[in-house]
Amino acid sequence: MSFPEQRPRRMRRSRAMRRLAAETRLHPADLILPVFVREGLTEPSPISSMPGVVQHSEASLLAAAEEARDLGLGGIMLFGIPATRDPQGSAGLDPEGILNRSIRAVKDRVGDDLVVMSDLCLDEFTDHGHCGVIDEDGEVDNDATLELYAEMGVVQAASGADVVAPSGMMDGQVAVIRQALDEAGHQHVPILAYAAKYASGFYGPFREAVDSQLSGDRKQYQMDAPNRTEALREVELDLAEGADMVMVKPASAYLDILSDAVSISDVPVSAYQVSGEYAMIEAAAANGWINRRTVVTESLIAIRRAGATNVLTYYAAEVARWLREEMSGSGESSARGTPASAPRATSAQRAQSSQGSPAQDPIQPRTTVADAPTEPHDPSRTDAGFPPVS
């Protein structure tokens, strides 16, 4: 049976029907917020390449953690930026270093009501910016680095981290950290393994965020963009080494990898919508070239649709607020504006909508957010409640 008996459009006629048919939804618990805390700051410091994201002071970090808890986020991922660096990244192993003391402070504040994860990597702490220590030949020394990771994992767990997240892409890191945690009595602390992490230009803004000292690249340890089968090997190895969760990173340009990882993983799979993915959306939205809220939502739905159990995203708190508004009916979704009553479209938005049917947003996700009414997705509307696109 085919057309005219088959008419898939029947299932798309109304918002309520689309909501019924949605195969994928977002929920605050799916979202993990990466946060940066910088030693010596007395107030948050903006990151110019990531508008809206800050380096936190130790005080403002606690407020961000409380908000993440109150919003019901899946967790937060802490990155520390030390005042001083050295070749070994000692500040990362120091129980009094910025990251470890921040883990303690956050756990003191939020207790068991929020999952607190810590980045387990040396790059923020080394004066050369690499994820491991450098050998005589100037290369990152895998096995020497593993010893430091093992120690770092134990210190983070002792500081109260609920999950440690090794992101350095050293071979064998999961096994070594697992063994060290177990020997130190931290059998209950899971490892979220950055399993398929690619050497990516999409990390550009993160380098500013952590004041990276790196010159050069990480291509000798992070994965090479052309490779797909190799990602399965990385995921399999991490699972065999005892990873409790695995991650694919970046997200949007690697949805095939994510989908592959999901197909072989028997543990949750995370995806990291990285700094460059965030920056591109922000830049285009600031120019009025895309509808910010629609694209943010769609980008996260796409990552979930590819199979991610949860998503690390700098949008986590904001999207959770949107979802809450929609659940309570107080947000944008409750505004029943018709095109006739909607604010006038900017020329950029008209240009965007003219690429598809003028009556329908050409980039509307057919999947919805939460169990709540979705926003009308009228391309002529501006983002109510948010700074209008300029």
Please report whether residue 275 would count as binding ligand PBG according to CB under 6 A.
Answer: yes
Provide the β-strand partners of residue 191.
164
State the nearest-atom distance from the C-beta of 119 to ligand PBG, in Å.
5
Confirm if 359 and 318 have CB atoms less than 8 A apart: no
Q: What is the DSSP letter of 329?
A: T
Q: Which is nearer to ligand PBG, 149 or 206 (CB)?
A: 206
State the nearest-atom distance from the C-beta of 67 to ligand PBG, in Å.
20
The verdict on whether 219 is a catalytic residue reads no
Q: Which is nearer to ligand PBG, 36 or 367 (CB)?
A: 36
Q: Which is nearer to ligand PBG, 154 or 312 (CB)?
A: 312
Residues numbered 71 to 110 that lie near ligand PBG (CB under 6 A) are none
Residues numbered 218 to 237 that lie near ligand PBG (CB under 6 A) are 218
State the nearest-atom distance from the C-beta of 382 to ligand PBG, in Å.
28
Which residue do the tokens 């195969």 mark?
23
Burial 217-254 (b: 16+ CB within 10 A, else e): ebeebbbeeeeeeebbebbebbbebbbbbbbbbbbbeb
Q: Which is nearer to ligand PBG, 231 or 370 (CB)?
A: 231
Binding-site size, ligand PBG (CB under 6 A): 9
Q: Which is nearer to ligand PBG, 275 or 291 (CB)?
A: 275
Point out which span in 61-69, 119-127, 149-157, 262-270 binds ligand PBG (CB under 6 A): 119-127
Exposure on the CB side of residue 88, measured as CA atoms within 13 A: 11
Residues numbered 30 to 69 that lie near ligand PBG (CB under 6 A) are none
Point out which span in 118-126, 146-154, 263-271, 341-349 binds ligand PBG (CB under 6 A): 118-126
Q: What is the DSSP letter of 134?
A: B
The verdict on whether 107 is a catalytic residue reads no
Residues 106 and 58: their CA atoms lie apart, in Å, by: 9
Please report whether residue 173 would count as binding ligand PBG according to CB under 6 A.
Answer: no
Q: Which is nearer to ligand PBG, 218 or 381 (CB)?
A: 218
Q: Which of 36, 198, 203, 315 binds ligand PBG (CB under 6 A)?
A: 203
Please report whether residue 282 would count as binding ligand PBG according to CB under 6 A.
Answer: no
State the nearest-atom distance from the C-beta of 241 to ligand PBG, in Å.
19
Q: By beta-carbon distance, which residue lies closest to ligand PBG?
A: 206
Q: Which is nearer to ligand PBG, 121 or 177 (CB)?
A: 121
Residue closest to 110 by CA, chosen among 81, 78, 79, 67: 67
Catalytic residue among 38, 69, 128, 249: 249
Q: Which of 274, 316, 319, 389 binds ligand PBG (CB under 6 A)?
A: 274
Residue closest to 163 by CA, chosen among 126, 203, 108, 120: 120
Please report whether residue 121 would count as binding ligand PBG according to CB under 6 A.
Answer: yes
Confirm if 154 and 146 have CB atoms less than 8 A apart: no
Q: Which of 206, 221, 254, 322 binds ligand PBG (CB under 6 A)?
A: 206
Which ranges of the chain does DSSP label H, i.e. alpha helix? 15-21, 58-71, 90-93, 98-110, 142-159, 173-183, 204-209, 229-240, 255-264, 275-286, 292-305, 316-328, 347-353
Residue closest to 140 by CA, chosen among 178, 89, 204: 89
State the nearest-atom distance from the C-beta of 330 to ligand PBG, in Å.
31
Count CB-CB contacts under 10 A for residue 20: 10
Give the CA angle between residues 170, 247, 185 to the nearest 5°.
65
Catalytic residue among 197, 218, 292, 381: 197
Which residues 6+ apart lie within 8 Å of 248 measured at CB?
Answer: 195, 196, 197, 231, 254, 257, 258, 261, 269, 270, 271, 272, 308
Please report whether residue 167 would count as binding ligand PBG according to CB under 6 A.
Answer: yes
Binding stretches for ligand PBG (CB under 6 A):
119, 121, 123, 167, 203, 206, 218, 274-275
Residues designated catalytic: 197, 249
